[in-house]
Structure 1
Amino acid sequence: MTTEQSAALAATLAALRDALGDDGVRTGEEIGERSMTDYTRHEPTRPAALLLPRTTEQVARALAICNDARQSVVPQGGMTGLAGGAIARATDMALSLDRLSGVEEIDSASATMTVRAGTTLQTAQEAAAEAGFELTLDLGARGSCQIGGNLATNAGGNRVIQSGTAREQVLGLEAVLANGSVLSSMSKMVKNNTGYDLKQLFIGSEGTLGVITRAVLRLHPQRVSRHTALVALDSYDAAVNLLRRLSTRFGNDIGAFEIMWPDFFDFGVSLIAGARSPFSTAHPLYALIEHASFDATDDGERFASVLTEALETEVIRDAVIAQSVADARALWAIRECTAEFPSRLDPVNFDVSLPIGEIGRFVDHCRAALDAKWPGNRSYFFGHIGDSNLHLTVDGHSVPGVEHHAVYAFVYEMLGPLHGSVSAEHGIGLLKREFLPVSRSAEELAAMRAIKRALDPNGILNPGKLL
């Protein structure tokens, strides 16, 4: 850094301390490891400073100062992302939303929650439950991820089949533009047809167009009866058949339909207490299903009867139905073994979407291609097929000497002809930026860049991400 650059940075930091207070700006060793990387385990980098605003007004003042100084800013939430979208460079300032947290209001009449961006998803869920409602967005990282990050990445999660992605949970939004202007569209109304729906620009934009500070979220009646089953299947086509049967019978009461191929299932089983499968024999495919009803008297008999019919007609091979909350948690523990990936594997993660009818064939083709390219590779396939989302994790330890980038390029090349998406729910960030043209046309990318230039002409917000 030149003397001139050092002086400019010092002046910017001084202005930021005036705006945020001395405890609102950290530098050097004051910045903890949490602000240096995310779940991608990207090489940790300490940002030039960590900003910790407490209010929307402080966010606005900080961005205005940085914009005038042409100082880049990277918004950060819970740092649970899997695309590198919140990773700062040494020349960036990280803007943490940790202190901008809390549920401001729950409006029972409109069934909405007004919440600050730094609030963890679990805190918001618990506040909704205490008020007699349900916030249906749910992720495995619920205890750490933050509402602002959920919206900025348009997070999906386990219940998209029932309630949609994060985008579908938002009625109103407040965001701060790069120049410090505050766009506050905190509407509680479902119907609000007054021109451009500006909030949608920021949902899924990964902090490249503005910093989300508050939101009005939809709440739903609590589903008071939940029934969970793990079923074994002969094939992917059988899984689709079962999904359609369940959807026809129960409609929106099917809250989760999680598919696990044997590689993933066996890994999950190896981590649970006793490391013993709920089934006596191995099967080609497994589905974890949750039925959630509003009826407190629903004892699960209807759900069990549909599974019995599917067993009798050989749509499924076997089924285990949870008899208690503890049983359900034990079944979910197999599916949620992904939390162990970073510590046990060198994960190369894929989060793609395809038409539901193509997913099974894609898995077969992809597995065969990976085995031919890198014999002995360990790859784990799983997904939420009800919303067309397939996950694949390749263990980098099983392909020694192969760069992660080469694995990404190889798999995405197979995805292209099917016109699938390189990101179903994790965003683009750093890791998928160069592969975005697989899923977006040149015209779409040009429109995105035009929007970016209009809202952030100096390019200070999360540079190098997404576009």
Structure 2
Amino acid sequence: METLQSPVIGALLDRLGSVAVLSGPDIPERNTNDWGPHGPVRPLAVVRPSEPAGVAAAMQICHQHGIAVVPQGGLTGLCGGARPIAGAIALSLERLVGIEEIDPAASSMTVLAGTPLEVVQRAAEAAGFFMPLDLGARGSCAIGGNLSTNAGGNRVIRYGMARDMVLGIEVVLPDGTLVTSLNKLLKNNAGYDLKHLFIGSEGTLGIITRAVLRLHPKPASTMVAMCALSDYAGVLALLAAARRELGPLLSAFEVMWPDYWSAATGEVPNVRNPFAGDTTPYGAYVLVEALGTDPAVDMPRFEAWLERRLEVGDVPNAVVAQSMAEVAQLWGVRDACSEFVSVFGPHIPFDVGLPTGRMDEFAERCAAGLRARLPGCRSLYYGHIGDGNLHLVAWVPGAPSQPEHEIEQVVYGLVREFGGSVSAEHGIGTLKKPWLGHARSPEEIALMRTLKHALDPTGILNPGKVV
């Protein structure tokens, strides 16, 4: 076993200095785990380079000594992808922060990978642009981690996943080679588009150190409505109408099933029910967001669209936000899921991809299957169905420990039957690795392993994750 006087730690200290290399009692508690459900693991050391060359040097040293390395960004992942491994080095990007350049002509931003997403958003806004990637963990998550997991969020229906916002990247390979490809061109077909090897690979093929992000025009108007619908057929009709009539204005389409709605508005503190007093048993609730560039035109267009939906009967009831405070209140119902741990205690969260037209069938069968397998099991369903992403949480109230594997068997068994994905936007890490075969063929997994072996033949970079 390596000790504090080991050659690898000595070499890291000689190259990077004591500020960048923390070992023994100096290892911060935050670097022992991510937001996944399993317990912390103390790494051999935490290495915190402040520049890409330092990341490359650290990887060269670890490669020479055969020591595994686990990359860490903001540590907000939910699947164990940044959870350390005993005896490995945790390579944290927490000091690799900063906005290096905003190019107005190219509508791009060059940023270091450890920079928090919220810092990126604010820098874009200050320059008159918009960075559409947005997650609840925006203040903590790092842009490099967002790219390494190909994060999604609420606006995928309009702007795409994280990979759609990247023009170029810089990455350190497992042997310490620094590959700089900070492309700013929207059109660049000069050979393989190598950035896509590393975006979504969860730090198993390389460590992203810098990125060139594609920026968008800053919205000048925000329109949000909460719609109550009779059934899922109405949800699909509303989605089709929003795509057809709102066109590029449509930025979010969030659906909440009745059980979720009841829990969010009835059990989570400080969440306001916009339909308070209406006792109609609706079959679904939809939050629609549209972003535009002309407030004088956009809001009347949005309201006229919604009035037509009310007139034809697609939407029995709706509330339109009249201020940014009301926008926040309506989004508060959808974001209430972040409070479920404090309200309901331990539960098992899921992030799955499904055919949009069959999501209601999935939710109904999944809830019934969980109750049959585990009497008393509660499950709540919600998600960004416009991009095929359903979230759910499940738990057995009062259970001394949650039957995680049994719940996963029901949920992922149905995902496989429906031809879906076990991970829509959260990644695989270690948590979903046993279920990868439910969404990928043996041939696909074999090709993933071939890529892993080609770039990391000794298997030192984030070993045991994904494949």
Q: Same fold (TM over 0.5)?
A: yes
Q: 1:110 aligns with which of 100, 106, 111?
A: 106
Q: 2:155 aligns with which of 135, 139, 159?
A: 159
Q: 1:141 aligns with which of 137, 143, 154?
A: 137
Alpha carbons of 1:276 and 1:388: their partners in 2 closer, same or farther (altered >3 Å)? closer
* Amino acid corresponding to residue 431 of structure 1 in structure 2: L
Matched, 1:293 2:292: yes
- Residue 297 of structure 2 aligns to a residue whose secondary structure is coil
Offset from partner CA, 1:215-258 (integer Å, 9 cap, x none):
00000111110011111111112111101101101112111100
Between 266-275 and 140-149, report the one with greater CA deviation. 266-275
Q: 2:8 aligns with which of 9, 12, 15?
A: 12
Quick check: 1:28–1:46 contact (8 Å CA) kept in 2? Answer: no
Q: C-alpha separation between the residues in 2 aligned to 1:411 and 1:209? A: 29
Quick check: 1:272–1:334 contact (8 Å CA) kept in 2? Answer: no
The answer for unaligned runs of 5 or more in structure 2 is none
- Per the TM alignment, residue 405 of structure 1 is displaced from its structure 2 partner at its CA by 1.9
Partner residue, 1:34:
30
* Amino acid corresponding to residue 319 of structure 2 in structure 1: V
Alpha carbons of 1:389 and 1:164: their partners in 2 closer, same or farther (altered >3 Å)? same
- Per the TM alignment, residue 271 of structure 1 is displaced from its structure 2 partner at its CA by 2.7
Partner residue, 1:302:
301
Q: 1:259 aligns with which of 251, 255, 258?
A: 255
Partner residue, 1:273:
270
Q: C-alpha separation between the residues in 2 aligned to 1:42 and 1:342? A: 15
Partner residue, 1:226:
222
Q: 2:176 aligns with which of 172, 175, 180?
A: 180
Partner residue, 1:338:
337
Partner residue, 2:123:
127
Quick check: 1:348–1:396 contact (8 Å CA) kept in 2? Answer: no
Q: C-alpha separation between the residues in 2 aligned to 1:392 and 1:276? A: 20
* Amino acid corresponding to residue 262 of structure 1 in structure 2: P
Quick check: 2:203–2:461 contact (8 Å CA) kept in 1? Answer: yes
- Per the TM alignment, residue 275 of structure 1 is displaced from its structure 2 partner at its CA by 5.2
- Per the TM alignment, residue 421 of structure 1 is displaced from its structure 2 partner at its CA by 0.4
Matched, 1:378 2:382: no
Matches within 5 A, 1:50-449: 50-269=46-265, 270-273=267-270, 276-279=273-276, 280-281=278-279, 282-298=281-297, 300-344=299-343, 345-397=345-397, 400-449=400-449
- Residue 23 of structure 1 aligns to a residue whose secondary structure is coil
Quick check: 1:376–1:398 contact (8 Å CA) kept in 2? Answer: no
What percent of counterpart residues are identical? 48
Offset from partner CA, 1:388-430 (integer Å, 9 cap, x none):
0000111254555553122112211111122100000000001
Q: C-alpha separation between the residues in 2 aligned to 1:427 and 1:249? A: 33
> Pairwise CA RMSD of aligned residues?
1.5
Q: Size of the alignment, in residue pairs?
A: 463
Between 94-103 and 409-418, report the one with greater CA deviation. 409-418
* Amino acid corresponding to residue 355 of structure 1 in structure 2: P
TM-score by length of 1: 0.96
Quick check: 1:272–1:333 contact (8 Å CA) kept in 2? Answer: no
Q: C-alpha separation between the residues in 1 aligned to 2:447 and 2:271? A: 53
Moved >6 Å (runs of 4+) = none
Alpha carbons of 1:401 and 1:44: their partners in 2 closer, same or farther (altered >3 Å)? closer
The answer for unaligned runs of 5 or more in structure 1 is none
Q: C-alpha separation between the residues in 1 aligned to 2:327 and 2:384? A: 18
Quick check: 1:83–1:431 contact (8 Å CA) kept in 2? Answer: yes
- Residue 328 of structure 1 aligns to a residue whose secondary structure is helix
Alpha carbons of 1:240 and 1:173: their partners in 2 closer, same or farther (altered >3 Å)? same
TM-score by length of 2: 0.96
Q: C-alpha separation between the residues in 2 aligned to 1:274 and 1:6? A: 51
- Per the TM alignment, residue 446 of structure 1 is displaced from its structure 2 partner at its CA by 0.8
